[in-house]
Amino acid sequence: MPASIARVFLSRKLPARRALSSPCLAELDTLLRAAADRRVGLVARLSALGDDCWRVFHGSAEGRPGLALDRYGPILLAQTFREPLDAADLALLEGRARDLGLAFAWNHRGVRAHPGLPPDADFEGDLVCQENQTRFAFRARHRGRDPWLFLDLRAARARIAREARGRDFLNLYCYTAAATAVAARHGARACASIDFAASALEVGARHLELNGLAPALGGFLREDCIPAARQLAGLAVKGRAAARPHARLAARSFDLVLLDPPAKSVGPFGAVDVEHDHPALLKPALLCLAPGGVLLATNHVASVSRATFAAVLARTAEKCGVELSSLEVEGPEEDFPASPGESEPAFKLAVARRAASPAAG
């Protein structure tokens, strides 16, 4: 590629610098420059790999809560979660995108309705971004709210790329199954991808097609992950939920499992509450692991420390009789720093390897 995005971001000279009379505008400009400084190494490393998606500005940790700025391939996407952008901030961000040679879009997700700013017509449809030598479909705007690729999960997808070859992969709460595309692209023997949202699974099939892979390789199943994971682990679906319609699955083991649930949700088969009842999700995921297999489990709750997460996972493994040969908990990369007053970022990734079976005597 030409000059790296990091270098362009840092060396940019605002043509209308003298017009920055608004304190808020000047502040955001300063914050963006500081964020670019912190990402020089990361952006250079990702760009060298051919990756073109990362978080440019993580407002909750970098001085502007309620604003996130992400690069996805040819587009710079702003998302606001509190107040909409004012005209000065919007002009600044549009200028940033132009200087980087990117299209710009803005989605407002706050309580107060606002149309934001759609991308230019040439960028309204399916776009393509890349990570871990894997191509992903992306749209700045679609029927849902969340972008089709969660950037804080990059470290998990990188681990999957390293671990996938020749392995059976299970992706629980898979959303658009970006991790499944990575696993299949890097030689997974078979994949199973489970999520309740049909529209998300349709995007997952497009991810695979973009990489020259048949959608059937994704093993897509539209189902609530609670009954699906329990059955795959050889556990019964409990209580009244057992009478509800659901796919009947045979117990099956996997060499590589990704468990990426929402922090909290309520569904017909029970509640997901990662902060207070993570073991209910961790247990079936651990029991699905083949000897020597690896579980990648996430926790996005800021109040749960890495040490606490590790202790919960270790205790759950012990209680369900799964011996672990190793367990580590890591955070995201530099584009998702910790918020002020926090010692570590909210996102946590646990990597637990099940002990191999003793060699036959």
Q: Across residues 195-222, what is the average pLDDT?
A: 98
Domain that holds residue 110: 5-124
Assess if residue 219 is contained within a domain.
Answer: yes
pLDDT for the residue 23: 52
Specify whether 167 is located in the same domain as 287. yes
Answer whether residue 359 is part of any domain: no
- 199 and 103 share a domain? no
Q: How confident is the model at residue 241, as a pLDDT? A: 85
Q: Is 12's pLDDT higher than 50?
A: no
The verdict on residue 141 lying in a domain is no
The whole-number average pLDDT for the span 132-156 is 96
The reply to whether 250 and 341 lie within a common domain is yes
- 24 and 165 assigned to the same domain: no
Are 217 and 120 contained in the same domain?
A: no
Whether residue 134 is contained in a domain is answered as no
User: 164 and 112, same structural domain?
Assistant: no
pLDDT category at 14 given cuts 50, 70, 90 is very low
Q: Summarize the chain as % helix, strand, coil (round to 5).
A: 35, 25, 40
- Whether residue 225 is predicted with pLDDT greater than 50 in this model: the reply is yes
CA 74 to chain centre: 19
Do 70 and 162 reside in the same domain of the chain? no
Q: Assess whether 114 and 162 both reside in one domain.
A: no
Tokens linked to 168: 């059976």
Q: Examine the domain organization and report whether 119 and 187 are in the same domain.
A: no
The share of the chain scoring above pLDDT 70, in percent, equals 92
Q: What percent of the chain stands above pLDDT 90?
A: 89
Say whether both 111 and 157 belong to one domain.
no
pLDDT band at 239, cuts 50/70/90? confident
| pLDDT single digits (tens) 63-104 | 999 999 999 999 999 999 999 999 999 999 999 999 999 999
Tracing tokens 């796919």 back to the chain, one arrives at 247
Q: What is the pLDDT of residue 2?
A: 37
Q: Is 43 exposed, middle or buried (0-12, 13-18, 19+ CB in 10 A)?
A: buried
**27, part of any domain:** yes
pLDDT, one tens digit per residue, over 38-57 is 999 999 999 999 999 999 99
Q: What is the CATH number of the domain that holds 347?
A: 3.40.50.150
Q: How far apart are the first and last CA of the chain?
A: 55
3-state secondary structure of 129: strand
Q: How far is CA 220 from CA 26, 216, 261, in A?
A: 48, 7, 17
Count how many domains the chain has.
2
Determine the average pLDDT of the residues in 119-125. 94
The CATH number of the domain holding residue 49 is: 3.30.750.80
Residue 130 included in any domain: no
> Confidence band (pLDDT; 50, 70, 90) for 26?
low
Residue 296's pLDDT is 98
The predicted model scores a pTM of 0.91
Residue 80 lies in a domain: yes
The band of 116, judged by pLDDT with boundaries at 50, 70 and 90, is very high
Label residue 240 by pLDDT band (50, 70, 90): confident
Contact 119, 139 (CB under 8 A): no
Residues 44 and 189 in one domain: no
Domain finish residue from 81, 106, 124: 124
Confidence at residue 59, expressed as pLDDT on a 0 to 100 scale: 96
Residue 79 pLDDT:
98
Instruction: Give the count of beta carbons closer than 10 Å to the beta carbon of residue 215.
Output: 17
What is the CB neighbour count within 10 angstroms for residue 73? Answer: 19
How far does Cα 276 stand from its chain's mean position? 22
Q: Does pLDDT of 25 surpass 70?
A: no
Going by pLDDT thresholds of 50, 70 and 90, the confidence category of residue 24 is low
**Residue 19 domain-assigned (yes or no):** yes
In tens, the pLDDT along 246-299 reads 999 999 999 999 999 999 999 999 999 999 999 999 999 999 999 999 999 999
Cα separations in angstroms, 100 against 2, 35, 68: 11, 15, 17
Mean pLDDT over the full length of the chain:
92
Whether the pLDDT of residue 18 is over 90: the answer is no
Question: Among 108, 124, 140, where does a domain finish?
Answer: 124
Do 231 and 100 belong to one domain? no
Higher pLDDT, 19 or 90: 90
